[in-house]
Amino acid sequence: MREKVDSFLDFMTVERGISPNTITAYRNDLLQLVEYLEARDPRYRNGNGWESVDDRIISAYVLHLHDQSYSDTTRARKMASTRSLFNFLLQEGIVEDDPTANLSTPRVGRSLPEALTIEEVERLLTAVAASATAPEAKRDQAMLELLYASGMRVSELVSLELNDIGLEEGTVRCFGKGSKERLIPIHPMAVAVVRDYLQDARPSLANGKSGRAVFLNWRGERLTRQGFWLILKQHAKAAGLNGKITPHTLRHSFATHLLRGGAPLRHVQELLGHSSIKTTQVYTHLTSEHVRAEYDKAHPRAR
């Protein structure tokens, strides 16, 4: 069970860019849950996995936390950690049902995703392009251009196969949460950069281990999420954006910039692969600030 907790924490670090302090809190919360399960039933120490945890066990755990006299905020955080873990396990196919789905816990505020300004994105992409001579540099440029052009998740990016890239059509096909397929249009500049990588750089990286993977590491193997995160941090530092970027930043920037440019929320939802419009609506808070600023600049009575 602890192995799956470690896998989840790695996912949250690499894919979501969660801060070290938050990861520590997640780890403490989830190890507390594991210890509760092991104390409740010795079978959990002898091979019983997460798939055997049902809603009755989780409800008992909630009562256990209440009996420990934790505050509402602390209990809400611990249950948020548990929900996130089971959401991950469900996506990975490790469990078939989410035992936290019907839980009612104290609500906590949701933090808004951070997005780069258009100028900051340009600075990042320009910095990457300036070094794009070696095969690895061309690969990095193709990855970052493609992320900002499509809004894909990093996990979707590193999972791409060669037949997922439609250079002539200007599209990329990816498989999101629940293996849902979507076809995303990409602009001509991104197409040109990806074509350059596939024609001139990928053959230099590829070997017998490469298979059909689009993005490869120096060993010729499929690039991992962790590998991408290290690459992104390196280029962010070179662009003077160190500390402002997580693996999800270009996805957030893609959505925010589209909405500010006038794209309908429903279209952005489809591009991002969100199953619910409510997930996409978080970006409207960011765009409303932009609308207010534009109003204040444009209205003759607002100045």
Active site residue 83: no
Q: How many CA atoms lie within 13 A of 52 on its CB side?
A: 13
CB within 8 A of 130, min separation 6: which ones? none
* 197 is a catalytic site residue: no
Tokens linked to 48: 């019983």
Other Cβ atoms less than 10 A from the Cβ of 120: the count is 18
Catalytic residue selected from 16, 177, 233, 244:
177
C-alpha closest to that of 287 among 268, 300, 301: 268
Cα atoms found within 13 Å of the Cα of residue 79, Cβ hemisphere only: 27
Contacts with 251 (C-beta within 8 Å, 6 or more apart), sequence order: 147, 151, 152, 153, 154, 272
User: Of these residues, 77, 78, 139, 251, which one is catalytic?
Assistant: 251
Q: What's the number of CA atoms in the CB half-sphere (13 Å) around residue 7?
A: 12
**Residue in 77, 78, 139, 153 annotated catalytic:** 153
For this structure, is 274 an active site residue? yes
Active-site residue 177, yes or no? yes
Question: 154 Cβ partners below 8 Å, 6+ apart?
Answer: 14, 15, 147, 225, 228, 229, 247, 248, 251
What is the b/e burial string over 164-189, where b = at least 16 CB atoms within 10 angstroms of the residue's CB? bbeeeeeebbbbbeeeeebebebeee
153 is catalytic: yes
Active site residues: 153, 177, 248, 251, 274, 283
